[in-house]
């Protein structure tokens, strides 16, 4: 039987430093409002890139643009070297995996069912890898014990980890995560960011929206700071996390100082209690 369209081909392995996504002079409008203005940004294999900035800065919109889920009003979005509009949906699903801010399901799926959904892009491409990918994703997110439980019966933090497991099971080389730590306790925040670093060490590119500047300083290789729809800084945390800039961007005094024992970068609001 002849297929109506060819099966999508998985992407070739990337080398560290390869550009897996980029935006050039990007403008995005939502309705009559311009949300992003003139953004230039690259996403490279082997790197965790954190998008930070105050509420309404455009972080989630930029993540959606990199995922090809939000169209550019001006400028260009490229994924794996091609304009995003040139990729079919099945091809995109093999190249980038996206975690939105919230996950809602109306049907009584089990946790394992939800994680297995991440393997849908690989149907007919690599079915033998499904069980391994699902088991590994659940191990990484500490959700293996939940496998038979209904997704709807989980707490908010547990749902967030299962949603991340679904994204990890997709095994796309470009991983886009929108506030994956927002609902998590201290231990699981650290776990999720360690997983991001593991994916980068394995050669993937990870873009993660974070509000916790301490987590960004500890785990991101590079940080892009957004404010009012513009990119105001882009570089390693030690270069761009500067007290004056952060205080101006957040309209809140911020202190940046070394940890007294490890000398790791600490970022905290300046408080007079």
Inform me whether the pLDDT recorded for 3 exceeds 60. Answer: no
Inform me whether the pLDDT recorded for 40 exceeds 70. Answer: yes
115-164 pLDDT, tens digit per residue, is 999 999 998 777 778 999 999 999 999 999 999 999 999 999 999 999 99
- On whether residue 13 sits in a domain, the answer given is no
- CATH number for the domain that contains residue 174: 3.40.50.300
- On whether residue 240 sits in a domain, the answer given is yes
Return the SS3 of 47: strand
**pLDDT for residue 125:** 76
Inform me whether the pLDDT recorded for 4 exceeds 80. Answer: no
pLDDT band at 1 (very low <50, low <70, confident <90, very high): very low
Please check whether residue 28 is in contact with residue 73, taking contact to mean a CB–CB distance below 8 angstroms: yes
- On whether residue 4 sits in a domain, the answer given is no
For the sheet with 33-44, list strands across it: 33-44, 19-30, 74-79, 82-83
**pLDDT for residue 5:** 60
- On whether residue 2 sits in a domain, the answer given is no
- On whether residue 8 sits in a domain, the answer given is no
**pLDDT for residue 89:** 93
Sequence-distant (≥ 6) Cβ neighbours of residue 123 within 8 angstroms: none
Please check whether residue 109 is in contact with residue 60, taking contact to mean a CB–CB distance below 8 angstroms: no
Q: By residue range, what is the domain housing residue 199?
A: 19-269
Domain count along the chain: 1
**pLDDT for residue 273:** 79
- On whether residue 11 sits in a domain, the answer given is no
**pLDDT for residue 6:** 67
- On whether residue 183 sits in a domain, the answer given is yes
Mean of all residue pLDDT scores within the chain? 94
Please check whether residue 249 is in contact with residue 218, taking contact to mean a CB–CB distance below 8 angstroms: no
Q: Check residues 3 and 257 and name the one with the higher pLDDT.
A: 257
- How long is the chain? 273
pLDDT band at 27 (very low <50, low <70, confident <90, very high): very high
212-239 pLDDT, tens digit per residue, is 999 999 999 999 999 999 999 999 999 9
Taking the CA atoms of residue 207, residue 168, residue 90 and residue 41 in that order, the dihedral angle to the nearest 10 degrees is: 10
- On whether residue 120 sits in a domain, the answer given is yes
């Amino acid at each position: 039987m002849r297929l109506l369209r060819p099966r999508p081909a998985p992407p070739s392995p990337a080398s560290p430093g390869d550009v897996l996504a980029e935006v050039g002079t990007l403008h995005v409008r939502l309705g009559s409002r311009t949300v992003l203005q003139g953004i230039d940004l690259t996403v490279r294999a082997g790197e965790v890139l954190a998008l930070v900035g105050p509420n309404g800065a455009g972080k989630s919109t930029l993540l959606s643009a990199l995922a090809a889920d939000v169209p550019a009003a001006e400028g260009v979005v490229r994924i794996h070297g091609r304009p995003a509009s040139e990729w079919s949906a099945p091809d995109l699903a093999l190249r980038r995996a996206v975690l939105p801010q919230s996950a809602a399901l109306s049907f009584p799926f089990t946790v394992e069912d939800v994680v297995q959904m991440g393997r849908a892009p690989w149907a007919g491409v690599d079915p033998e890898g499904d069980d391994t990918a699902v088991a590994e994703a659940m191990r990484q997110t500490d959700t293996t014990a939940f496998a038979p439980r209904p997704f709807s019966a989980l707490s908010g933090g547990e749902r967030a980890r299962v949603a991340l497991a679904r994204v990890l099971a997709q095994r796309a080389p470009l991983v886009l995560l929108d506030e994956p730590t927002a609902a998590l306790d201290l231990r699981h925040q650290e776990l999720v960011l360690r997983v991001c670093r593991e994916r980068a060490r394995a050669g993937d590119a990870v873009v993660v929206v974070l509000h916790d500047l301490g987590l960004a300083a500890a785990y991101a290789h590079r940080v892009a700071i957004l404010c009012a729809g513009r990119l105001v800084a882009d570089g390693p945390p030690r270069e761009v996390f500067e007290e004056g800039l952060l205080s101006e961007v957040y309209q809140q005094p911020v202190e940046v100082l070394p940890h007294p024992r490890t000398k790791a970068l600490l970022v905290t609001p300046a408080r007079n209690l």
